[in-house]
């Protein structure tokens, strides 16, 4: 085969699955499936860590028992590692589900972002009423 016989690489748009399409090969070299959702998840998770730390410094308490355990033993570093370990696990789960069934993975990523928004909004409300 000569250089002129080679087929061009398919573009990213050509290799992306359509909604509901079954994607074979969990370990393919395809890019992340839902990067926009992951950015929002990361943003709200970071805000949650920061706002939780503010509340704790003002005398508040963490209501999540497992998170409280990490905070009491390892402080801000432990809380950050705990939170972002959960984010990594969730992203991996979304990627696996999304590669098996795109629409389910997309829905899972969106629900995850919505869930991450609630503690941020709740903490902002608590802080607003405290001021």
Q: Is residue 12 part of a domain?
A: no
Number of domains comprising the chain: 1
State which residues form the domain around 100: 33-130
Q: Is residue 25 part of a domain?
A: no
| Segment 68-87 mean pLDDT | 96
Q: Is residue 8 part of a domain?
A: no
Q: Is residue 15 part of a domain?
A: no
Write down the pLDDT at residue 114.
Answer: 97
Straight-line distance from the first to the last Cα atom of the chain, in angstroms, rounded to the nearest whole number:
73
Q: Would you say residue 45 has pLDDT above 70? A: yes
Q: Is residue 61 part of a domain?
A: yes
Q: Would you say residue 8 has pLDDT above 80? A: no
User: Confidence class of residue 20 from pLDDT cuts 50, 70 and 90?
Assistant: low
CA atoms within 13 A on the CB side of 52: 24
98 is written with which tokens? 């999304």
Q: Is residue 68 part of a domain?
A: yes
Separation CA 93–CA 113 (nearest Å): 14
Alpha helices by DSSP H, the chain: 12-15, 35-57, 65-100, 102-130
Q: Is residue 116 part of a domain?
A: yes
Separation CA 120–CA 126 (nearest Å): 10
User: Confidence class of residue 31 from pLDDT cuts 50, 70 and 90?
Assistant: confident
Q: Is residue 21 part of a domain?
A: no
User: Confidence class of residue 130 from pLDDT cuts 50, 70 and 90?
Assistant: confident
Write down the pLDDT at residue 44.
Answer: 98
């Amino acid at each position: 085969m000569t250089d002129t016989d080679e087929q061009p690489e398919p573009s990213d748009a050509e290799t992306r699955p359509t909604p509901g399409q079954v994607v074979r090969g969990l370990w393919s070299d395809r890019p992340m499936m839902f990067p926009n959702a992951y950015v929002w998840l990361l943003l709200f998770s970071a805000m949650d860590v920061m706002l939780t730390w503010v509340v704790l410094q003002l005398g508040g308490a963490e209501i999540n028992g497992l998170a409280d355990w990490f905070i009491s033993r390892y402080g801000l570093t432990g809380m950050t590692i705990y939170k972002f370990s959960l984010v990594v696990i969730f992203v991996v789960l979304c990627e696996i589900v999304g590669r098996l069934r795109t629409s389910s993975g997309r829905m899972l990523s969106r629900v995850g972002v919505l869930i991450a928004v609630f503690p941020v909004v709740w903490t902002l409300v608590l802080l607003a009423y405290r001021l």
